[in-house]
């Protein structure tokens, strides 16, 4: 017996009603579930701290002023993550980057004797061998290679074969500093592998560009280079120091123009080899750094407000 049209219609209506009830129930349950879920908070981007670098220039015993600069910076909570150094700057910078505190470095400076780092030799290429300097630095850094330092470090020297800049970021720290400090015709050139190296001041007197290439956001350059004054006759060492800086004046200006902050301790009156003036040099470094603290703090504050603070740190080129 075939169902009547009325019964078919009634059955269809009942099915539709049941499906409608199920759909409404599902919607109600879904709405309740959504109501109980918490909307995740909006993620706020946080500005990163800038990568601060110290670029320490050369200048013989005047380089002890670098210690005074570091003392003041650390007393204000300003800690470098990268240190680059040329000549005397590599000497101080290597010891600092290896983990010694500014006060430990100050004690070393006050006790340092010429006999600790000077070894005379008879050689047509120079009269200071440099092995004592290398040994002294390695002793102070605990014989750690550069790549094991807690602070990233580069010593800058000059290749004698082609005049190009060499940046030592790994290997024997004392040997790298020796190369960076090897003043031509004074020190016998440092031989590493089959290459001879001389003082880094010939190509990069204040290694700002090296610091930037290592990934620095802010570079604090410390300039202790000699400037002609005509005030008094120069000693042989003073004349040599000033001659190197006169020849490299264009390089000095180019480097300093790339720095965020330039600190220039007033150490021009101190002798290049005058180790007895180390305390005065340190004090001059402290005074010069203190005068720049406000500018450094402003540079850090401004960086944190800049778009760069919300991006990853610059990738090091080496």
314: left (phi over 0), alpha (psi -120 to 50) or beta: beta
126: left (phi over 0), alpha (psi -120 to 50) or beta: left
Note if 10 is an active site residue: no
Cβ atoms of 24 and 53 closer than 8 Å: no
Catalytic residue among 90, 94, 199, 251: 199
**Cβ neighbours, 10 Å, residue 72:** 21
Note if 199 is an active site residue: yes
Catalytic residue among 87, 90, 94, 180: 87
Token couple for 26? 């599902």
129-167 burial, b at 16+ Cβ within 10 Å, e below that, comes to: bbbbbbbbbbebbeebebeebebbbbbbbbbbeeeebbb
Find all residues with CB under 8 Å of 164, minimum gap 6, and list them.
Answer: 158, 203
Tell me the C-alpha distance between 263 and 284, whole Å: 11
Where in the sequence numbering do the catalytic residues fall?
87, 199
């Amino acid at each position: 017996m075939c169902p009547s049209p009325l019964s078919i219609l009634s059955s269809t209506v009942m099915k539709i009603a049941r499906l409608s009830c199920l759909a409404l129930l599902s919607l109600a349950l879904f709405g309740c579930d959504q109501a109980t879920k918490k909307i995740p908070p909006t993620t706020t981007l946080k500005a990163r701290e800038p990568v601060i670098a110290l670029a320490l220039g050369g200048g013989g015993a005047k380089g002890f002023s670098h210690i005074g600069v570091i003392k003041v910076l650390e007393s204000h909570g300003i800690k470098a993550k990268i240190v680059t150094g040329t000549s005397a700057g590599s000497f101080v910078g290597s010891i600092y980057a290896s983990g010694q505190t500014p006060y430990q470095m100050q004690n070393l400076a006050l006790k340092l004797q010429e006999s600790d780092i000077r070894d005379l030799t008879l050689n047509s290429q120079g009269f200071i061998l440099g092995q004592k300097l290398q040994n002294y630095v390695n002793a102070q850094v605990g014989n750690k290679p550069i790549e094991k330092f807690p602070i990233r470090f580069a010593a800058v020297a000059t290749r004698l074969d082609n005049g190009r800049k060499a940046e030592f970021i790994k290997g024997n720290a004392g040997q790298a500093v020796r190369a960076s400090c090897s003043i031509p015709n004074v020190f016998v050139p440092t031989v590493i592998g089959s290459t001879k190296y001389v003082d880094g001041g010939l190509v990069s007197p204040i290694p700002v560009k090296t610091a930037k290439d290592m990934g620095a956001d802010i570079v604090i350059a410390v300039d202790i280079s000699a400037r002609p004054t005509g005030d008094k006759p120069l000693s042989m060492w003073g004349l040599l120091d000033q001659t190197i800086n006169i020849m490299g004046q264009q390089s000095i200006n180019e480097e300093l123009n790339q720095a965020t902050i330039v600190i220039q301790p007033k150490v021009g009156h101190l002798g290049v080899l005058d180790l007895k003036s180390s305390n005065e040099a340190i004090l001059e470094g402290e005074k010069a750094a203190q005068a720049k603290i406000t500018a450094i703090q402003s540079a850090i504050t401004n960086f944190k407000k800049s778009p760069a603070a919300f991006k990853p740190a610059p990738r090091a080129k080496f």
